Amino acid sequence: MSSKRASALEFESAGLSDVGKKRGSNEDSFALAPQHRLFVVADGMGGHAAGEVASRLAVESIERHISGSDPRKEPTIPADFRSPQGDEAALTPPARRVLNAVRLANQEIVRSVRKNREMRGMGTTVVMAYIQGSRAVIGSVGDSRAYLLRDDTLRQITSDHTFVNEQVRAGTLTQSEARKHPARNILTRAVGSQEEVEVDLIEQDLQAGDLLLLCSDGLTSMVEDDGILAALRGSRGDLATSCRALIDLANAKGGDDNVTVVLVRAVGPAKPTD
């Protein structure tokens, strides 16, 4: 038994999406691909048909790219990505793979809008986790979020790409003003809305017991972080039950929007196979 194998983490996951209490359709999409250690939430926009199409295209495109690329091979940056993002050569191979996946999704949505003008204005958020070994690469565009629950502390890993969050960061709005601001839904970045997309990439080392939460703003606009933490605490154990509890909580608080949650738990060292 090698020490490397003894320290490898296993993961369990669950996801659930709900239309909420006010909307007629669900524009969110999500994917669980545990065989590729890939987990995605996307929240589409642009009118209900277009929003549904955008989030589904993004999730499918990301899944296709990750599942079709060999994790043992060095990912290359396609030549038609004209504006490189920072020092891409310095990115780890999994981070580069995540970046490529979101860019390809962006291209796919942009092309689909070009073919079908009725889809003009469609775009989507993306938050994804791609785990290699014990490290997760989180990719994010928009205001869907990733959180890490560790040692009973819930921490938001991603930053919202919203007009109000920029004001909060600049010190011109407080968090509680931002939550009630009339322009709180205005995104400063989305997948599919422009030829090029800037993707936040965050690498997070995971340890046994860690829980990753990916969610659309239908959860976080209804439930504050303390409420999310309490719901996760109250439904320890089964992840599907925890997903249900979070969605029920968002709906109990009004359910103004579609709500999607994906939970991924590191369940400790895999048993040695010898």
Q: In what order do the strands lie in the sheet with 211-215?
A: 9-18, 259-269, 211-215, 145-150, 153-156
Contact 16, 235 (CB under 8 A): no
Residues whose CB falls within 8 Å of the CB of residue 245, separated by 6 or more in sequence, listed in order: 231, 232, 234, 235
Q: How far is the CB of 256 from Ca ion (least distance, A)?
A: 9
Q: Which is nearer to Ca ion, 94 or 255 (CB)?
A: 255
**Token match 């969610």: residue?**
215
Q: Closest approach of Cβ 51 to Ca ion, in Å?
A: 9
Shortest distance, CB of residue 232 to Ca ion, whole angstroms? 21
> CB-wise, 75 or 255, nearer to Ca ion?
255
Nearer to Ca ion, 216 or 251 (CB): 216
Q: With contact defined as beta carbons under 8 Å apart, do 130 and 214 qualify? A: no
Amino acid sitting at position 114:
R
Nearest by Cα to 125 from 155, 87, 94, 165: 165
List the structure tokens of 188. 């400063």
Main-chain dihedrals φ then ψ at residue 255, nearest 5 degrees: 55, 45
Judged by beta carbon, residue 24 or residue 237, the one nearer Ca ion is: 24
For residue 188, the minimal CB distance to Ca ion (Å) is 15
Contacts with Ca ion by CB under 5 A lie at 43, 216-218, 257
For the CB of residue 224, give the shortest distance to Ca ion in the complex, in Å: 17
Two structure tokens written together for 273:
């196979």
Q: Which is nearer to Ca ion, 68 or 182 (CB)?
A: 182
